[in-house]
Amino acid sequence: MSSASSTTSGAAKPAGSTRAKPANKWEQAADWTDGRLGIYSLAKANLRKIFPDHWSFMLGEICLYTFVIIILTGVYLTLFFKPSMGEVIYDGSYIPLKGIPMSEAYASTVDISFEVRGGLLVRQIHHWAALVFVAAMLVHMMRVFFTGAFRKPREINWVFGFLLLVLGMFDGFFGYSLPDDLLSGTGIRFMEGAILAVPLVGTYIQMFLFGGEFPGHDIVPRFFTIHVLLIPGIMLGLLVAHLILVFYHKHTQWAGPGKTEKNVVGMPLMPVYMAKAGGFFFLVFGLIAAVSAIATINPIWAYGPYRPDQVSTDAQPDWYMGFSEGLIRVMPGWEIGLWGHTLNLGVFVPLMIFPLVLVAIAVYPFIESWVTGDKREHHILDRPRNAPVRTALGAAWISLYLVLLVGGGNDLFATHLHLSINDITYFVRVGFFVVPVLTFIATKRWCLGLQRRDKEKVLHGRETGVIKRLPHGEFIEVHAQLPQADLHKLTSHEQPPVFELPAETDENGVAAKAGLIPRTRAKLSRGFYGEGSRIPKPTAEEHHEITSGHGHH
């Protein structure tokens, strides 16, 4: 709307135009813009677009806002940061480093922290926002996963979101590596070792990436380009696509009175969501700024410049890379000699499991829709308890992540809890296989228990806390019928039929054995929906029987 000043010519209407005279300057400006950009048709569909309300929908917003904060602060930092490995002798105001040779990258980061007024704050906001960004993406993704919001028509957007998470993690790693301090250099060394472990081409990739031997002079400028240009560029494109799809599909919503698969109930974009979402951006930014004022993160001046023959003891990656660190720490050091070559399984296996752990979630929507054979659109969310297998799979995945995080922080756990580091490592080696299975079983049972409780509530009402004494002396608690809205909410979920194999013999009596794939599918489907995976919903008849008959208490 700021183009108001440049619109004086817009008033002249061509003869024959039937458009009403604009009422004021603003309308005039809008008319002018519409003539060039067609904003009216766009706004018609979107100005009063309906957004359903639920606190968990804010998680995606946090991702978006932290991304914006990262870009804003990142641009500021590039104005001062020198992505160069050229050697300088430090001569700034931080006394402990005076006279020490270091790279320009490190020196300029120290300068940003101590010489540039507000530079430290911006650096801290950048780093904190990055941590919140990745965390929010992960939690947002869990929200989408556990509620089944990834189902048709949203599978592609799930994949976009997944790519954003992976790119975000890697961009975080590259950014972390730029200051060329002792900790970040150790991270790069780790990456070099991992690349070298790749069979056949490892040494070539290493030489090309580093421009020669480790560490060389090229790695920081190259990472800089990747960190500020390549990855953010791709992410921006994905993000826009993600949001366009969110707009196009409209939000999902929870089941409830008046909410169906064919509508979306909520409040309009203008004004309520503009104010709420716009305001929320400032809340997030404000909080991160305050945290950055209070909590120091990545104090690179305390680590010192990188030297390949030195290391600080608590070498830890940022938390989101912790699980890969866990993988590498708990893997036994297997090396296989092959005709004068070495296959470094101890590093290569973790390097391969790393993407597998991630890709497992990326492909999940497609696996589920194949197993269930469900080809319909879904806009009403599942309560996690009503999809016990999915929920249990998600929980198992998270537990695996946590086990590996323990592996990645085994030294911290050892020192803080006074445990033997070797014991922790052995525990993680076993836990890697066992904990996800146990978590799966426990979560599934828990979901079924909650389903049972829902059924109980529907049939017998809710406990009122009022105790009544019957004439013959027995004490009972009075139960109150649930209101219609709650009855509906608790019974509206689907319990679709299990996918059955076609009969073993066709109508002519000829034996037709199903192939391996349909048989697997039938088995999985039974696992998903079968007897053991759900409590049958209460039926209207059951409800009638209990509410109309005897003992209506």
Partner 1 sequence: MSHDMSEEKLPESHGSAGHHEVAAHGDPFADPGLPAHQPRRTDIDERAAQRAERQVSLMFVVSMLATVGFIASYVAIDPDKIVYIFPLGHVSALNFALGMTLGVALFCIGAGAVHWARTLMSDHEIPAERHPIEADDEVRADVIEQFRTGAAESGFGRRKMIRNTLIGSMALVPLSGVVLLRDLGPLPEDKLEHTGWREATDVKPLQLINMNTNQPMKAEDVIVGSLTFAMPEGLSTHDEDFQQQIAKDALMLVRIAPEDIKDTESREKGFEGILAYSKICTHVGCPISLYEQQTHHALCPCHQSTFDLADGARVIFGPAGHPLPQLKITTDEKGFLVATGDFDEPVGPSYWERAR
Cα–Cα dist 224/171, whole Å = 10
CA angle 342, 346, 352 (to 5 degrees): 100
**Segment contacting partner 1 by CB under 8 A, of 4-12, 235-243, 490-498, 507-515:** 490-498
Does 505 contact partner 1 by CB under 8 A?
no
- Lookup: tokens for 277: 């979402």
Q: How far is CA 429 from CA 327, 334, 394, 435, 484, in A?
A: 9, 14, 21, 10, 51
**Segment contacting partner 1 by CB under 8 A, of 207-215, 235-243, 357-365, 442-450:** 207-215
**Segment contacting partner 1 by CB under 8 A, of 137-145, 187-195, 223-231, 463-471:** 187-195
Does 553 contact partner 1 by CB under 8 A?
no
Does 341 contact partner 1 by CB under 8 A?
yes
Would you say 140 and 242 are in contact if contact means Cβ atoms under 8 Å apart? no
CB of 65 to partner 1, least distance (A): 10
Q: Residues binding partner 1: what is the number (CB under 8 A)?
A: 135
User: Applying CB under 8 A, which of residues 206, 298, 399, 525 lies at the interface with partner 1?
Assistant: 206
User: Applying CB under 8 A, which of residues 35, 38, 153, 518 lies at the interface with partner 1?
Assistant: 153
Cα–Cα dist 122/135, whole Å = 20
C-beta closer to partner 1: residue 281 or 401: 281
Q: Rg of the Cα trace of the chain?
A: 30
Q: How far is CA 47 from CA 52, 265, 274, in A?
A: 15, 15, 10
Does 226 contact partner 1 by CB under 8 A?
no
Does 453 contact partner 1 by CB under 8 A?
no
C-beta closer to partner 1: residue 339 or 475: 339
**Long-range Cβ contacts of 110-117 (<8 Å, 24+ apart):** 110/300, 110/301, 111/80, 112/77, 112/80, 112/81, 113/300, 113/301, 114/301, 116/80
Q: Which residues pair with 480 in a beta bridge?
A: 462
Residue located via tokens 């530079």: 119
Alpha carbon of residue 76 to chain centroid: 27
Q: Which residues contact 55 (CB under 8 A, 6 or more apart)?
A: none
- Lookup: tokens for 352: 């391969």
C-beta closer to partner 1: residue 496 or 530: 496
Site for partner 1 in 233-252 (CB under 8 A): 248-250
At residue 377, the 3 state secondary structure works out as: coil
Burial class of residue 280, CB neighbours in 10 A (0-12, 13-18, 19+): middle
C-beta closer to partner 1: residue 82 or 329: 329
Does 331 contact partner 1 by CB under 8 A?
yes
Site for partner 1 in 61-90 (CB under 8 A): 87
Does 479 contact partner 1 by CB under 8 A?
no
Does 308 contact partner 1 by CB under 8 A?
yes
DSSP code, position 99: T
Does 261 contact partner 1 by CB under 8 A?
yes
- Lookup: tokens for 82: 């020198």
User: Applying CB under 8 A, which of residues 35, 237, 257, 355 lies at the interface with partner 1?
Assistant: 257
Cα–Cα dist 215/192, whole Å = 9
Cα–Cα dist 85/184, whole Å = 14
CB of 243 to partner 1, least distance (A): 16
C-beta closer to partner 1: residue 212 or 515: 212
User: Applying CB under 8 A, which of residues 34, 61, 155, 411 lies at the interface with partner 1?
Assistant: 411
User: Applying CB under 8 A, which of residues 127, 379, 383, 444 lies at the interface with partner 1?
Assistant: 379
Does 50 contact partner 1 by CB under 8 A?
yes
Does 495 contact partner 1 by CB under 8 A?
yes
C-beta closer to partner 1: residue 36 or 44: 44
Does 417 contact partner 1 by CB under 8 A?
no
C-beta closer to partner 1: residue 229 or 290: 290
Does 159 contact partner 1 by CB under 8 A?
no
C-beta closer to partner 1: residue 86 or 518: 86
Burial class of residue 362, CB neighbours in 10 A (0-12, 13-18, 19+): middle
At residue 186, the 3 state secondary structure works out as: helix
Does 211 contact partner 1 by CB under 8 A?
yes
CB of 53 to partner 1, least distance (A): 8
User: Applying CB under 8 A, which of residues 82, 126, 140, 378 lies at the interface with partner 1?
Assistant: 378
Site for partner 1 in 278-307 (CB under 8 A): 278-294, 296, 306-307
Does 535 contact partner 1 by CB under 8 A?
no
Sign of CA dihedral 414, 419, 422, 423: negative
CB of 293 to partner 1, least distance (A): 2
User: Applying CB under 8 A, which of residues 267, 357, 442, 501 lies at the interface with partner 1?
Assistant: 267
CB of 444 to partner 1, least distance (A): 20
Pairing of strands 87-89, 101-103: antiparallel
C-beta closer to partner 1: residue 6 or 263: 263
CB of 12 to partner 1, least distance (A): 33
Burial class of residue 21, CB neighbours in 10 A (0-12, 13-18, 19+): exposed
